[in-house]
Chains A and B, each alone.
Chain A
Amino acid sequence: MITEALVLSAILFVIGTFGFLVRRNAIIMFLCVELQLNAVNLSFVAFSRMWGIDGQIFVFFVMTVAAAEAAVGLAIIISIFRHYETVNVDSFNLLKW
C-alpha cells in the first residue's frame, strides 16, 4: 500500500520538477512548485500510517505555508505582468551581478 503511494508521490514530484525546469510561464512554474509540495504532502500522509500522526501535522504546516506563498507569489506575478505585460520568465533578468 505504502509503496504505491510513494511511487505516486515520486511521479508527481518528478512531473513538478520537470515542469519547473522546462516551462517559461511564471504561473505554470508556480503551479509546478505547488505540485512538488503536494507530492511531498502525499508522502507525509502515507508515512503517517506507519509512524503516527506527525506526518499529517506536517502536511497542515506545508499547506499553510503554501497558501501564504501562493498569495505573495501570485501578487508578485501580477505586478510583474502589469509592468512587462508578460509572465515569461526569460523576459526579466535584471536582478543579477
Chain B
Amino acid sequence: MVSGVFASLIALTQGGGQAAAEGAHFEPFLPGLVVLLPLLGFLANGILALRHGRASADAVRAGGEFNLGGPDSRPSTHTLPTWIGPGVMAGAFLITLVNFGRMLGVHLEAPVVVHYWTWMATGTFTVDAALQLDQLSMIMMMIITGVGFLIHVFSVGYMKEDPGYPRYFAYLNLFVFFMLVLVMGSSYALMFVGWEGVGLCSYLLIGFWFADREKADAGKKAFIVNRIGDVGFLIAMFLLYKAFHTVDFVPVFAEAETLAYGGALVTAITLFFFLGAVGKSAQMPLYVWLPDAMAGPTPVSALIHAATMVTAGVYLVARSSVLFALSPVASATVAGVGALTALFAATIALKQNDIKKVLAYSTVSQLGYMFVGVGVGAYAAGVFHLMTHAFFKALLFLGSGAVIHAMHHAYHSTHRHEDAQDMRNMGGLKAYMPITWATMWVATLAIAGIWPFAGFFSKDEIIWQTAAFGGAAGAPFPTLYTIYWIIALAAAMLTAFYMTRMMVMTFHGTNRTGEAEAKQLHEAPATMWIPLAVLAALSAFGGWINVPEAIQNSFLGGMGAFPMSEWLHHWLEPLTAQAHHIQEVNLGELSHSAPFGGGEVLWAVLSTVAAGVVVLLTIRTVGRQKIVSVAEDTTELTGISALLYNKYYVDEIYDRFIVQPIIEASRFCWRVVDARIIDGTVNAVGLVSKGIGWGISMFQTGSVNTYAFILTVGVLVILGASLF
C-alpha cells in the first residue's frame, strides 16, 4: 500500500502516468489524484483519529456524547477533519469536472487507460495498476465525488457531537477511495480490490457505534452476506481468465465475441458475476443485509447504502454489457431477479414504521429496477436510473437524517428514551423543518415517477425498454418479459404509495413527538440543508439529460423543449454499441409497442397519471388515519399486515434454515470433532507417553546395587552379542 502510494505520487509528478496514445486527443487530467486525494484524506483523518482514539473510544463505550466543552473549544482532532474530509472530496470533484469537460469536448471511441505500475506479474497472468477513463467510469466518478462531497458536507453538521468524528471521516474518505478504485480500475481484478474495499468500509461504518451489540452485529451481517456474492465474483474472474488469459476490460471485451452466443461458458461467467452483484446490490435472496445496514449513521446510509456502493452491482453488469448481451439466460435472470426484488421489497416498505427502514426497502426496490434495466439490454437506462436514484435517494436519506437529528435532539433535551426514527413519533414536522419538508417532497415525487422530476424519465425508460425488449422478434422468453413489465408497473405504483405514506406520517398531520419535545424541534443547520437543496435541484432537473426521443417530441417533453434529448444514451453509446450490436444480430429489432398495445408516450402518460393519483389518494387516506405514537400504539397486526410488517419473516426463515444449521454444525465441530476427536487424540498420545515413562521409571530404584547389577549384565550381553 505504502509503496503504491509512492509509486503513484512519482507517476503524478510525471504528469499523470503515460496515457495510451490511441485515446483520440482526450488528455486525462491527473486521474491518479482523484483516487489519491480521498486516500490522503483517510490517512490524515486516520492519524487524527488515532491521536484522539482513547478518549473517543471511552466516550463511545460510555454511550454518552463527547464533551467538547463549548462551541469554541473544539480540539484540533475535531476541527481538522471538518476541512480535510469534505476538502479532499471537493478536490476530487473538481478534478473529475475538468476531466469530464475535456471528455465532453472530444468524441472518445475507445477507453483511455492510464498505466501506473505493474501490480502483479505471474507467468502468463499480468495485472497492471491502471485507471480506465471512459464515459461510464466518468459518470460514476461524477456521482461518487459529487454526491459524495455533498454527503461529506452534510456529515459535518450531522456528526458534530459524535465522539468518533475523526474516525468517521477517515472511514468515509477510505470508502470513497475504494469506490473510485472500483469504478476506475481497468480490470476485473482491480475492480475486485475496490469491491472488497467498499465492503470493508461498509462494515466499519455500519458498526460505527460498535458499543451497541445490535449495530456491531448488523455490520457483521452485511460483511458475511456480501462474502457469499464475492465468491461468485471470484469464480467469474477465474472463468474469465480461463477463457481469455486476461481480466483487463479492453482485451476481454474485444475478444468476447469469440465465445458462442448463449454458450455455457459465457452464461456461467455472467451468472457468477451476477451472484456478486446480487450480494453487493442487495437483490433477492441476499438483500437481507441492507435493511440492517441502517444501523450506521444516516449520511453513511445515503452515501454507501443508497447512492454509490450498492449500485456497484449495476455498474458491474453495465460494464460487462458485452458478456451479458451474449447470454440471454443470464440477462433474463438479471431482469427477473431485479423485477422480483423490486416488487418484493416495495411490498415490505408498505408497512414499515421506521423511516430509514422504508427508505432501505425502497432502495432495494429501486436497485431492482436498475437490474431490470441492464437485464433487458437497456444499459444506458440502468445507469440513468442509477444516477437519478443517487440524487433522490441520497436526498431522501439525508432528509431523514435531518429529521432524525431534530427528533434526537428533542428527545435528548427532555431525557426521554423514545425511538427518534419511528414515524409514529413524528407527524406535523412540516411546521418545524420547512426546507427538509420541501426538498424531501421533491425527492418523493421524483422516486414516485411524477413528470417532470428525474425519476419519471429514468424509471419510465426502464419500464418501456422491458416491454420493447420482450416484444423483439427473437426475444428469448417473451412471456417472461411481459410479466417483468407488469411487475415493474405494479412496483412503481407501490413506490408512489409507500413514499407518500412516509411523507404524510413524518411531515403532515398533528405532531406526536410530545409537547415539551416539540418546542425543541428545529430546522437543520446550513451545513445540512444546503446539500439537501442542491440534491433537490438535481432530483428535479437531473432527469432532463436523457429524455427519450418519443417523449421529447410529445407534449411531455414540451414538444422538444428539453435541450438534452437522450444525451446519456448517446454519451454511453461507444461502450454499449457492441452489446447492442450483439443483441440486434441475435434478437432482431426491438418492439415499438407495449404488450397490450400503446406506444412509449401513452404508457408514460398512463404511469405518471396513475402514480399521481396514488400519491393524492395516499395523502387523503393516510392523512385521515389516526396514527398514535409508539408508546400508545397497541394495535395488533394480523394477516397480510403482520406478514409485511415482519418482512415476510425472511430473516426468521434464514435464521431457521441457514444460520441455525450452520451454528449447530459449528457446535458439532467444536464439541465433538474438536473437543473429542482432535483433543482426544492429542491427549491420548500424551497419556500413553506418560504411562510408558512411568513404567520405565520403575527401573530407577535408587539402589546402587541394582544399577551395578544391570550395568554388568548389560556389558555382558553386549559382549556376548558382539562375540557370537
Tell me if B705 is interfacial: C-beta within 8 Å of chain A: yes
Tell me if A21 is interfacial: C-beta within 8 Å of chain B: yes
Q: Give residues of chain A (18-37) contacting chain B, Cβ–Cβ below 8 Å.
A: 20-21, 24, 29
Interface of B is mostly: helix
Most A CB contacts (10 A, CB to CB) among B697, B703, B705, B712 go to B705
Q: Are A20 and B697 in contact (CB under 8 A)?
A: no
Contact with B708, one of A20, A94, A95, A96 (Cβ below 8 angstroms): A20
Residues of A within 8 A of B701 (CB): 93, 96
Residues of B within 8 A of A29 (CB): 704, 708
Q: Are A95 and B702 in contact (CB under 8 A)?
A: yes
Q: Are A24 and B712 in contact (CB under 8 A)?
A: no
Contact with A89, one of B697, B704, B712 (Cβ below 8 angstroms): B704
Q: Give residues of chain A (66-97) contacting chain B, Cβ–Cβ below 8 Å.
A: 89-90, 92-97
Residues of A within 8 A of B118 (CB): none
Q: How large is the interface on B (under 10, 10 to 19, 20 to 34, 35 or more residues)?
A: 10 to 19
Q: Are B697 and A21 in contact (CB under 8 A)?
A: no
Shortest Cβ distance from residue B356 to the other chain A in the assembled complex, whole angstroms: 72
Tell me if B709 is interfacial: C-beta within 8 Å of chain A: yes
Residues of A within 8 A of B708 (CB): 20-21, 29
Tell me if A56 is interfacial: C-beta within 8 Å of chain B: no
Residues of A within 8 A of B700 (CB): 96-97
- Given known pairs A17-B712, A97-B697, the reply for A24 and B705 (CB within 8 Å) is yes
Residues of B within 8 A of A20 (CB): 708, 712
- Given known pairs A17-B712, A97-B697, the reply for A90 and B705 (CB within 8 Å) is yes
Q: List 28 A-B contacts (CB under 8 A).
A: A17-B712, A20-B708, A20-B712, A21-B705, A21-B708, A21-B709, A24-B705, A29-B704, A29-B708, A89-B703, A89-B704, A89-B705, A90-B703, A90-B705, A92-B702, A93-B701, A93-B702, A93-B703, A93-B704, A94-B702, A96-B700, A96-B701, A96-B702, A96-B703, A97-B697, A97-B698, A97-B700, A97-B702
Residues of A within 8 A of B704 (CB): 29, 89, 93
Q: Cα distance A41–B421 when bound, in Å?
A: 103
Shortest Cβ distance from residue A83 to the other chain B in the assembled complex, whole angstroms: 16
Shortest Cβ distance from residue A43 to the other chain B in the assembled complex, whole angstroms: 15
Residues of B within 8 A of A94 (CB): 702
Q: Cα distance A90–B704 when bound, in Å?
A: 8
Q: Cα distance A69–B707 when bound, in Å?
A: 19
Shortest Cβ distance from residue A16 to the other chain B in the assembled complex, whole angstroms: 11
* Closest residue on chain B to residue A22 by CB atoms: B705
* Closest residue on chain B to residue A20 by CB atoms: B708
Residues of A within 8 A of B709 (CB): 21
**How many chain-A residues does the 8 Å CB contact rule pick out?**
13
Q: Cα distance A89–B709 when bound, in Å?
A: 14
* Closest residue on chain A to residue B716 by CB atoms: A17
Q: Give residues of chain B (137-153) contacting chain A, Cβ–Cβ below 8 Å.
A: none
* Closest residue on chain B to residue A94 by CB atoms: B702
Residues 97-136 of chain B: 1 if any A CB is under 8 Å from the residue's CB, otherwise 0? 0000000000000000000000000000000000000000
Shortest Cβ distance from residue B604 to the other chain A in the assembled complex, whole angstroms: 97
* Closest residue on chain A to residue B713 by CB atoms: A21
Shortest Cβ distance from residue A59 to the other chain B in the assembled complex, whole angstroms: 21
Residues of B within 8 A of A21 (CB): 705, 708-709, 712
Most A CB contacts (10 A, CB to CB) among B697, B698, B700, B708 go to B708
Other A-B pairs beyond A93-B701, A93-B702, A96-B702, 11, CB < 8 Å: A20-B712, A21-B712, A24-B705, A89-B703, A89-B705, A90-B705, A93-B703, A94-B702, A96-B700, A96-B703, A97-B700
Residues of B within 8 A of A24 (CB): 705
Q: Cα distance A17–B704 when bound, in Å?
A: 14
Residues of B within 8 A of A92 (CB): 702
Q: Cα distance A18–B62 when bound, in Å?
A: 84
* Closest residue on chain B to residue A23 by CB atoms: B705
Residues of B within 8 A of A89 (CB): 703-705
Q: Cα distance A20–B705 when bound, in Å?
A: 8
Residues of B within 8 A of A90 (CB): 703, 705
Shortest Cβ distance from residue B104 to the other chain A in the assembled complex, whole angstroms: 92
Residues of A within 8 A of B703 (CB): 89-90, 93, 96
Residues of A within 8 A of B705 (CB): 21, 24, 89-90
Shortest Cβ distance from residue B64 to the other chain A in the assembled complex, whole angstroms: 63
Q: Cα distance A93–B700 when bound, in Å?
A: 10
Q: Cα distance A96–B697 when bound, in Å?
A: 8
Q: Give residues of chain B (688-724) contacting chain A, Cβ–Cβ below 8 Å.
A: 697-698, 700-705, 708-709, 712
* Closest residue on chain A to residue B709 by CB atoms: A21
Most B CB contacts (10 A, CB to CB) among A29, A90, A97 go to A97
Residues 41-59 of chain B: 1 if any A CB is under 8 Å from the residue's CB, otherwise 0? 0000000000000000000
Q: Cα distance A97–B699 when bound, in Å?
A: 8
* Closest residue on chain A to residue B705 by CB atoms: A89
10 smallest A-B Cβ distances: which pairs?
Answer: A96-B702, A93-B702, A89-B704, A93-B703, A95-B702, A96-B700, A97-B697, A96-B701, A21-B708, A20-B708
